[in-house]
Structure 1
Amino acid sequence: MNASIRYQVVVNEEEQHALWPAETLPPQGWRPDGFSGTEDECVAHVDEVWPDIRPLSLRRRLAEREQR
């Protein structure tokens, strides 16, 4: 791990999170979530804000089944 490399946390429509180099635009379909830092800092942030790593569409389908 190189602590001098800066990353940003990016998120897609399914609320999946990933790390991306801070100086680079995220790929299509991903947007910055507003957090940047070292790899360790970004991983800690993702762990905090994304406790349920299932895609949003799956979580919604399962929630609908539970309501029936």
Structure 2
Amino acid sequence: MDNPDKKTDPEVIKYKVVVNDEEQYSIWPLESKVPLGWKELPESGSRDECLSYIKRVWTDMRPLSIRS
């Protein structure tokens, strides 16, 4: 039986945007600790909101170390 209090629906879970030293972006659950090597940005919200932000700002997918 499913637990109705468990937040597993992507529309219910809130996320934060994170970025690493190579300027690669990702999303991470808001309530989870940011993994080593990543830093939290001020942007947060639904999965779609966070991915929309990343789409706007991450215009060069190449890692920073190989950009000219």
* TM-score normalised per structure 1: 0.83
* 1:1-68 to 2 correspondences below 5 Å: 2-59=10-67, 63=68
Q: Sequence identity of aligned pairs in percent?
A: 47
Tell me, which stretches of 5 or more residues in structure 2 are unaligned? 1-8
TM-superposed CA distance for 1:10, in Å, is 0.3
Q: Distance in 2 between matches of 1:38 and 1:24?
A: 15
State the AA in 1 paired with 2:53.
H
Any runs of at least 4 consecutive aligned residues in structure 1 with deviations exceeding 6 A, and if so which? none
More helix by share: 1
Q: Distance in 1 between matches of 2:62 and 2:42?
A: 21
Deviation sequence 1:3-60 (CA, Å, 0-9, x none): 111000000000000010001111001011111000000000000010111100011x
> Partner of 1:66 in structure 2?
none
